[in-house]
């Protein structure tokens, strides 16, 4: 098309510059001949003189050939708005990045740019004194959402596909009828009343290109015809039509339309919008698949490999797949929360269980990470030695994991002699190979305590946000990382003395030098192993940032001592030290640990962690091991999760928000339900959030109604209808199709779990039981059992197939819910040699097999129960008390007489604040006592104090203290 030959016309000197490509026209719209600003630049063919306009003109950029130009030009005319019209070729730079090149844009005085034609029209009218009304708003919205898409489609059909008139109009009829109705219904001359408004211009602007003149409108649309005619004949509209549609009429728009994707109307699309994912899994089965599934079924338990039980200690075996699994070592001084549990130990456990069921020779080790500042600080807090702190918390961790059925082959700790030996050996090897550097670091030293202060031993004012209790490594308020020497007014956390900055010598791991070994190794590991996307991403960005030497020593006492003169009073920095824990923990498990850890030829190593741990496992630790050069086993598969949030926020120990490992068992919800739900929302690929109501929903819908219901029905039918003995089965084509369907899900399950997509694989289990439920529902064995011989045989077949599916599910579910799996195994008397996973679904419970007593596997979770739990773990609320009160049989100790308290003046804000603080403090105290498993009597006494404080607070707030009676008591 010929945009390139358009001319600019200057209103002041009347010179036209034919043939000047617009893109070369003076950008600011100045006339090249007289330098005045043309207020409007009609195009050749338009003979009309420019309209007079106000001096301060806003720039209205209009692309030649864009249909929306009509309404804005018309609106500018109607409102006699002071705009300077600039025609542009669509390729020209738009006024703002949001502007589509074909759509008009108006630059406002403020510099803001309007890119919506309707908003431009409305603005122009508004500037002319016409405020929008509900009615004009409604027309504008209708035009934008309803009319425009239809008009665009009609125009496209007409100009690009060459369809004629009504044929092209498509859905337009309905919309025209709507306008007709509105006009005749209201009896007004214009859309929003008796005078012209922005609504008329906008709707006319949209309709004009498709209608052109009222003749195309049928006689029934009388009101519309009249209105359209009036509009088209108005001066403003005529001007707009002339300037936009000249010289070629509608063909002006053709080039624009040809560049658009064919319009696709919402109404035409609606049908193909919905669930595609569901259908995708329901793909058509081939004949071969069905035959193969039936063959596999017929081969029976003999077709399964023999379950392999390794000797203890588990050691790599030549010729087998040897899988070594670690989960990130939890830091000892914290009780892990659900996020920590799903992030590493539970994910790794599920995978380890899966590996064992696949007959892979598997070792799963973990332990508590015990060295470092945090332990020292905690020890000072609790008045214990670091060793005592570690002993205490290591036991808490071990307890929690036992409760969650985490199947460690060994759960150890990092504070052992093996740790010292191995860490020092790696250190010496790095030193000998020149991978360590020395440097002087400025550090805070407390003269009172006679020591350099590790970051966490310093507090002061945050240099970024001014928060007064910023820690030496990070500010809790603004979250920024802090260099301890930058803290304002630093204080020693132990003696409150003021530390001074002193230089001290430290050792650094020379990562830049190791990078040339790291990169080829990474490349190899990535091409042969499964690294989660976030692990690759985080690692890549670390390396791209450039590796810097990294300090591996710290001025602490609680750590692995540095075996080098000049550094004897220092220990290894926890991140140099901690991953070595994997090796030393294995060494505590077996003296042949090197067969796992110095054996990359035979061993495949999986590291499980949350994503914040990635760089240490993908860069720093591999560098240490590569530099130490002793044929170490390096990570092949790095599996990192995203974060799990609690309800709508973060887990917070200090605020008491969220469920922590030790509390999970107090909820009365079985460990397997926790495992199931956590794995169901395992943050694979993106963050997820724990939610109580969702937990209830998933338990009741997926476990109880789907999985549990199916397995229970299958077992019950065998018991009730066939005397507890699996009946004979005569497979029909439908049954074989089901076998193939189940096999498909089983394959999918393997594919996903081999890639450690634990959450997704769980869905395959649930689909199998869904298929099972459908199968039972369709075949109705409970009816057929009462029928004739053929019906009874059918009931037998369906029951037999279903109970075998239940048997398969028992094995598949074992990595996720080990006790449930065991329960099914017990109820159906599944032979132990069938507890192995293969790629086929075979008949493991043949006719004649006797099942045991069948009982429900899951319990319904009730709303009340879940609400109570949600409140209990919501943090800092009075409901906390119910926990304490329900947990013990005796009522709380008598409450001291309120007379001892201050005289209560309701509403005194200072008193309320004081009491609130005291309540919070006492609440924490009670929680702490409970966490430390304090004596009952002591807890009772403290709870009584807390109750009394809350009562006073309620009085001060003017509430009735009645509400404070713990719920647990009130019910009785």
Partner 1 sequence: MAAELALLEGTLGLRNGTKYGAQGERQIPVLQTNNGPGLTGLITIAAHLVKQAKKEQLLGSTAEEKAVVQQWLEYRVTRVDRCSSKEDTRTILKDLNTHLEDKVYLAGNSFTLADILMYYGLHHVMVDLTVQEKEKYLNVSRWFNHIQHYPGVRQQLSNVVFIKNRLYTNAH
Q: Which residues bind partner 1 (CB under 8 A)?
A: 97-98, 108-110, 112, 114-116, 118-120, 122-123, 126-127, 132, 134, 137-138, 140-142, 144-145, 148, 185, 266-267, 269-270, 273, 479, 534, 537-538, 541, 544-545, 611, 642-643, 645, 648-650, 685-687, 689
Nearer to partner 1, 472 or 796 (CB): 472
Distance of closest approach, residue 620 Cβ to partner 1, in angstroms: 17
Nearer to partner 1, 109 or 864 (CB): 109
Distance of closest approach, residue 292 Cβ to partner 1, in angstroms: 36
Q: 3-state secondary structure string, 280-332?
A: HHCCCCCHHHHHHHHHHHHHHHHHCCCCCCCCCCCCCCCCCCEEEEEECCCEC
CA distance 376 to 385: 8
Nearer to partner 1, 144 or 335 (CB): 144
Nearer to partner 1, 115 or 253 (CB): 115
Distance of closest approach, residue 78 Cβ to partner 1, in angstroms: 16
CA distance 507 to 573: 10
Nearer to partner 1, 138 or 865 (CB): 138
Q: Do 88 and 63 meet the contact criterion of CB atoms below 8 Å apart?
A: yes
CA distance 208 to 72: 13
Nearer to partner 1, 267 or 395 (CB): 267
Distance of closest approach, residue 154 Cβ to partner 1, in angstroms: 18
Distance of closest approach, residue 842 Cβ to partner 1, in angstroms: 40
Nearer to partner 1, 113 or 805 (CB): 113
Greatest alpha-carbon pair distance for the chain in Å reads 106
> Nearest to residue 410, comparing CAs of 586, 230, 177?
586
Nearer to partner 1, 277 or 648 (CB): 648
Q: Which residues, including other chains, have CB under 8 Å from residue 486's CB and lie 6 or more apart?
A: 463
Q: Do 81 and 124 meet the contact criterion of CB atoms below 8 Å apart?
A: yes
Q: What is the DSSP letter of 496?
A: -
Distance of closest approach, residue 683 Cβ to partner 1, in angstroms: 9
Which residue, chain included where needed, has tokens 């039918």? 717
End-to-end CA gap in the chain: 86
Nearer to partner 1, 560 or 688 (CB): 688
Q: Do 891 and 969 meet the contact criterion of CB atoms below 8 Å apart?
A: yes
Distance of closest approach, residue 123 Cβ to partner 1, in angstroms: 3
Nearer to partner 1, 133 or 428 (CB): 133
CA distance 492 to 473: 14
Nearer to partner 1, 266 or 895 (CB): 266
Nearer to partner 1, 125 or 364 (CB): 125
Nearer to partner 1, 546 or 848 (CB): 546
Nearer to partner 1, 123 or 208 (CB): 123
User: Kindly report the CA angle at 441 between 435 and 446, in degrees rounded to 5?
Assistant: 135
Distance of closest approach, residue 138 Cβ to partner 1, in angstroms: 4
Distance of closest approach, residue 649 Cβ to partner 1, in angstroms: 7
DSSP β-bridge partners for residue 451: 446
CA distance 927 to 923: 6
C-alpha Rg value of the chain to the nearest Å:
38
Distance of closest approach, residue 592 Cβ to partner 1, in angstroms: 39
- For 368, the enclosing helix (H) or strand (E) is strand 361-368
Q: Which residues, including other chains, have CB under 8 Å from residue 587's CB and lie 6 or more apart?
A: 418, 422, 593
Q: Return the sign of the alpha-carbon dihedral for residues 180, 182, 186, 189.
A: negative
Q: Number of helices and strands (H, E) in the chain?
A: 39, 20
Distance of closest approach, residue 127 Cβ to partner 1, in angstroms: 5
Q: Which two tokens stand for residue 675?
A: 């495992």
Q: Which DSSP string corresponds to 14-64?
A: --B-TT--GGGS-TT---TTT-PPPS--PPTT--PPPPP--SS-EEEEEET
Distance of closest approach, residue 934 Cβ to partner 1, in angstroms: 35
Q: Which residues, including other chains, have CB under 8 Å from residue 847's CB and lie 6 or more apart?
A: 725, 726, 727, 728, 729, 800
Distance of closest approach, residue 258 Cβ to partner 1, in angstroms: 21
Nearer to partner 1, 148 or 825 (CB): 148
Distance of closest approach, residue 106 Cβ to partner 1, in angstroms: 8
Nearer to partner 1, 4 or 264 (CB): 264
Nearer to partner 1, 133 or 865 (CB): 133
Distance of closest approach, residue 28 Cβ to partner 1, in angstroms: 21
Q: Do 360 and 320 meet the contact criterion of CB atoms below 8 Å apart?
A: yes
DSSP β-bridge partners for residue 508: 437, 551
Alpha helices in 813-845 (DSSP H): 818-828
Distance of closest approach, residue 477 Cβ to partner 1, in angstroms: 10
Distance of closest approach, residue 614 Cβ to partner 1, in angstroms: 10
Q: What is the DSSP letter of 95?
A: S
Nearer to partner 1, 132 or 892 (CB): 132
Alpha helices in 604-657 (DSSP H): 614-615, 621-628
Q: Which DSSP string corresponds to 714-777?
A: HHHHHHHHHTTBPPP----HHHHHHHHHHHHHHHHHHHHHHTT-HHHHHHHHHHHHHHHHHHHH
Q: Which residues, including other chains, have CB under 8 Å from residue 166's CB and lie 6 or more apart?
A: none
CA dist 606 to 531, 571, 625, 773, Å?
A: 9, 28, 16, 36
Which residue, chain included where needed, has tokens 């009522």? 891
Distance of closest approach, residue 574 Cβ to partner 1, in angstroms: 20
User: Kindly report the CA angle at 227 between 224 and 231, in degrees rounded to 5?
Assistant: 135
Q: Which DSSP string corresponds to 429-481?
A: HHHHTT-EEEEEEEEEEETTTTEEPPGGGEEEE-TTT--TTEESSB-TTT--B
């Amino acid at each position: 098309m010929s945009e390139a030959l358009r001319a600019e016309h200057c209103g002041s000197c009347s010179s036209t510059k034919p043939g000047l490509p617009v893109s070369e026209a003076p950008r600011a719209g100045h006339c090249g001949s007289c330098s005045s600003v043309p207020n409007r630049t009609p195009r050749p063919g338009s003979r009309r003189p420019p309209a007079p306009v106000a001096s301060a003109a806003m720039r209205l950029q209009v692309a030649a050939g864009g249909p929306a130009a009509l309404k804005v030009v018309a609106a500018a005319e109607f409102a006699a708005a002071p705009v300077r019209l600039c025609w542009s070729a669509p390729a020209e730079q738009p006024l703002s990045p949001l502007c589509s090149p074909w759509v008009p844009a108006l630059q406002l005085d403020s510099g803001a740019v309007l890119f919506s034609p309707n908003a431009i029209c409305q603005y122009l009218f508004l500037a002319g004194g016409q405020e929008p009304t509900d009615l004009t708003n409604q027309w504008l919205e209708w035009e934008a959402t309803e009319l425009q898409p239809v008009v665009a489609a009609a125009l496209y059909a007409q100009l690009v596909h060459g369809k004629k008139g009504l044929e092209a109009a498509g859905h337009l009829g309905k919309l025209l009828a709507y306008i007709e109705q509105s006009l005749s219904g209201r009896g007004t001359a214009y859309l929003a009343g008796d005078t012209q408004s922005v609504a008329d211009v906008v709707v006319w602007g949209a309709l004009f290109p498709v209608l052109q003149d009222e003749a195309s409108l049928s006689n029934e649309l009388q009101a519309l015809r009249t209105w359209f005619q009036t509009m088209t004949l108005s001066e403003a509209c005529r001007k707009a039509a002339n300037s936009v549609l000249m010289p070629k009429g509608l063909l002006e728009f053709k080039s624009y339309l040809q560049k658009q994707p064919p319009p696709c109307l919402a109404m035409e699309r609606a049908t193909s919008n919905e669930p595609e994912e569901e259908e995708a899994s329901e793909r058509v089965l081939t004949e071969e698949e069905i035959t193969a599934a039936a063959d596999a079924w017929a081969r029976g338990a003999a077709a399964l490999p023999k379950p392999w039980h390794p000797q203890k200690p588990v050691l790599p075996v030549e010729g087998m797949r040897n899988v070594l699994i670690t989960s990130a070592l939890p830091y000892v001084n914290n009780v892990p929360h659900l996020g920590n549990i799903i992030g590493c130990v539970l994910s790794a456990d599920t995978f380890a269980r899966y590996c064992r069921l696949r007959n892979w020779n598997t070792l799963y080790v973990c332990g508590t990470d015990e060295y470092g500042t945090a332990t020292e600080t905690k020890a000072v807090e609790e008045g214990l030695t670091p060793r005592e702190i570690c002993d205490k918390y290591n036991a808490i961790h071990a307890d929690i994991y036992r409760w969650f059925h985490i199947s460690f082959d060994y759960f150890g700790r990092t504070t052992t002699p093996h740790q010292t030996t191995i860490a020092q050996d790696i250190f010496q090897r790095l030193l000998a190979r020149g991978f360590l550097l020395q440097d002087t670091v400025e550090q805070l030293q407390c003269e009172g305590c006679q020591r350099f202060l590790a970051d966490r031993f310093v507090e002061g004012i945050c240099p970024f946000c001014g928060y007064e209790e910023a820690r030496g490594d990070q500010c809790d308020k603004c979250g920024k990382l802090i260099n301890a020497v930058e803290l304002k007014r630093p204080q020693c956390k132990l003696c409150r003395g003021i530390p001074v900055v002193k230089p001290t010598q430290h050792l650094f791991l020379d990562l830049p030098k190791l990078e040339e070994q790291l990169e080829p190794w990474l490349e190899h590991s990535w091409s042969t192993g499964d690294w989660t996307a976030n692990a690759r991403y985080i690692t890549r960005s670390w390396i791209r940032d450039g590796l810097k030497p990294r300090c591996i020593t710290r001025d602490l006492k609680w750590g692995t001592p540095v075996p080098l003169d000049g550094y004897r009073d220092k220990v290894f920095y926890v991140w140099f030290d901690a991953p070595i824990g994997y090796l030393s923990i294995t060494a505590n498990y077996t003296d042949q640990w090197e067969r796992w850890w110095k054996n990359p030829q035979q061993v495949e190593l999986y590291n499980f962690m949350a994503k914040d741990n990635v760089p240490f496992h993908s860069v720093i630790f591999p560098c240490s091991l590569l530099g130490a050069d002793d044929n170490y086993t390096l990570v092949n598969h790095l599996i990192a999760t995203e974060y799990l949030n609690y309800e709508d926020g973060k887990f917070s120990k200090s605020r008491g928000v969220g469920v922590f490992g030790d509390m999970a068992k107090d909820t009365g919800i079985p460990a397997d339900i926790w495992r199931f739900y956590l794995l169901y929302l395992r943050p694979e690929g993106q963050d997820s959030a724990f939610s109580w109501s969702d937990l209830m929903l998933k338990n009741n819908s997926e476990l109880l109604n789907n999985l549990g219901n199916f397995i229970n029905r299958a077992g019950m039918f065998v018991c009730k209808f066939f005397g507890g003995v699996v009946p004979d089965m005569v497979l029909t084509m439908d049954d074989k199709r089901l076998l193939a369907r189940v096999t498909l899900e089983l394959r999918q399950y393997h594919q996903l779990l081999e890639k450690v997509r634990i959450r997704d694989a769980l869905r395959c289990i649930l689909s199998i039981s869904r298929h099972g439920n459908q199968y039972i529902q369709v075949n109705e064995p409970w009816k057929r059992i009462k029928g004739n011989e053929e019906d009874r045989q059918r009931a037998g077949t369906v029951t037999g197939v279903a109970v075998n599916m239940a048997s398969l599910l028992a094995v598949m579910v074992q990595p996720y819910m080990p006790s449930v799996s065991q329960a099914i195994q017990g109820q159906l008397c599944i032979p132990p040699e069938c507890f192995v996973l293969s790629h086929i679904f075979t008949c493991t419970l043949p006719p004649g097999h006797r099942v045991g007593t069948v009982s429900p596997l899951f319990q319904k979770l009730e709303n009340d129960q879940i609400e109570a739990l949600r409140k209990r773990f919501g943090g800092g609320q009075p409901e906390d008390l119910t926990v304490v009160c329900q947990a013990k049989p005796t009522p709380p100790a008598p409450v001291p007489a309120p007379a001892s308290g201050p005289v209560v003046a309701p509403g005194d804000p200072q008193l309320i604040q004081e009491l609130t603080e005291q309540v919070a403090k006492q609440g924490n105290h009670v929680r702490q006592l409970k966490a430390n498993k304090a004596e009952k009597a002591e807890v009772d006494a403290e709870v009584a104090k807390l109750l009394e404080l809350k009562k006073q607070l309620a009085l001060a707030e003017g509430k009735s203290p009645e509400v404070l009676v713990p719920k647990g008591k009130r019910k009785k």
